[in-house]
Amino acid sequence: MFLRIKMEFLHCLSCRGFLWNPVTVSCGHSFCKRCLEKTLPLRCLACGQQLKRMDTKDLQSDVVLVSVLDKCLDNETKLSRPESNQQDRMESKDYEEALETTQMGSEMDAGDTEMETQSNTHHAPALQDLLSVYDFECSLCIRMLYKPVATPCGHTFCKECLERCLDHRPRCPLCKQSLQEFLKVGKYNCTMVLENIMSVIFPSELEDRRQVHETEMAELSNLTTNIPIFVCTMAFPGILCPLHVFEPRYRLMMRRCQETGTKRFGMCIYENSKGFADFGCMLEIQTVAYLADGRSHVETIGRQRFRVLRRGQRDGYHTADIEYLEDKKVVEGDELAELHRLHDHTYQQVERWLSEDREDYSSQIFLSCGPLPAKDDDIQASPDGPAWCWWLLSILPLDSAYQMLILSMTSLKDRLIHMKRILDVFLQIHT
């Protein structure tokens, strides 16, 4: 009588019968709405994950699942449990429909023998003959659902599509119902029933959709071409750079950087004529703390310096083709000895300036930026030079244009000369 497919996908995980008015909770599992309302479980009956308040109150039927069930189950199955829906209809004062369902159920009882005979002599149609890819289409991207996520209002979207909508406003893209509580969870699990059905009925189409997604992710993973650019502040190699991310375009950028696995993006300061400066520093995401409204506090650390070769845009944020900068190494000889003398002298100036500076100011520096990094045994070991230079540059009250000039230098000697001149001025002020 039932369709030739793994129909257990369509079973309620509580009552083990076919889903009736299916609702999908935050962990991605689906239940009959009545089963969930009767038990009000604190944890999912399938995976044990703790359920949120929104999972047991005011959940709406999963629209896509209702449509799938309506096409998959025959009339006998739909009417085999009329009593399970009668109370709902009575409570909603839908008396005419309740009466009609009762009459249809009575007719079904009278014709059980005849229908059973017919069902035994005719094969049920295959599920793939009743469903099409269009039944699993995202209404936002108009493509096959990829990692489908159901909202408390019952609508289903691709995970990425939904996240991008929530970046702009915490409402369902279709019915405009508030998703503020849904947004607070900060993690969206895929609807398991839909994923299972699609993988069984449309494996090739789902694989094609996955390939499209992976191709998009591969393009986003390139760390020299079309890298995302965050236009905000100066960043330096090895120096922490905390960010408060609230703009929709940058919320999307942070998500993509994590999804691709690179966890990296470029940081540049604003430049009026070009949109952003010609030089910047790559930042690597260390931790992300999400707030209830979708904003986030992102801890990053500076990595390589770069020069911008070409500017572009993607989905509202800036991108760039870049080349990485490295210091030109000084070979053995008098030039190397002079470089070491300049390095040691400048480092001593830094120590002197910190010791002569007001104690409260130095304490604030150490609290926010940490102590002065120690000298490196090999001052040319890093392609960006000694770490203490960037530490000093990050704390000095300098114009950002001048900081960028020093950042762009590929000569350690030139960089040290500029640092020495700056320290000479600060030390003269103190004397």
- Residues 26-78 pLDDT 10s: 889 998 888 887 777 778 877 888 777 665 667 789 999 999 888 877 655 65
Conformation bin of residue 12: beta by default, left when phi > 0, alpha when psi is -120 to 50: beta
pLDDT at 188: 87
> Strand, helix or coil at 322?
strand
For residue 129, give the DSSP letter: H
Q: Which of 22-36, 42-56, 265-279, 401-415 has the lowest mean pLDDT?
A: 42-56
7: DSSP letter: G
Is residue 387 predicted with pLDDT exceeding 90? yes
Q: Answer with the residue of higher pLDDT: 33 or 84.
A: 33
Give CA–CA dist 115/216, Å, rounded: 51
Contacts within 8 Å (CB) and 24+ apart, 82-88: 84/20, 84/32, 84/34, 85/20, 85/21, 88/21, 88/34
3-state secondary structure of 31: strand
Give the CA-trace dihedral at 89, 90, 91, 97, to 10 degrees.
30
Q: Is 308 helix (H, G, I), strand (E, B) or coil?
A: strand
Does residue 18 carry a pLDDT above 80? Answer: yes
Looking at the DSSP bridge assignments, the partners of residue 287 are 299
CA dist 34 and 92 (Å) reads: 14
CA distance 140 to 4: 31
- Distance (Å, rounded) from C-alpha 318 to C-alpha 334? 45
Cα gap 188→28, rounded to integer Å: 8
Locus of tokens 């992710």: 217
User: pLDDT value at position 325?
Assistant: 97
Question: Own/partner pairs for 422-426, CB < 8 Å, 24+ apart?
Answer: 422/396, 422/398, 423/346, 423/349, 423/350, 423/353, 424/349, 426/353, 426/396
The per-residue pLDDT for 78 is 58
Average pLDDT, the chain: 83
What confidence score (pLDDT) does residue 109 get?
Answer: 45
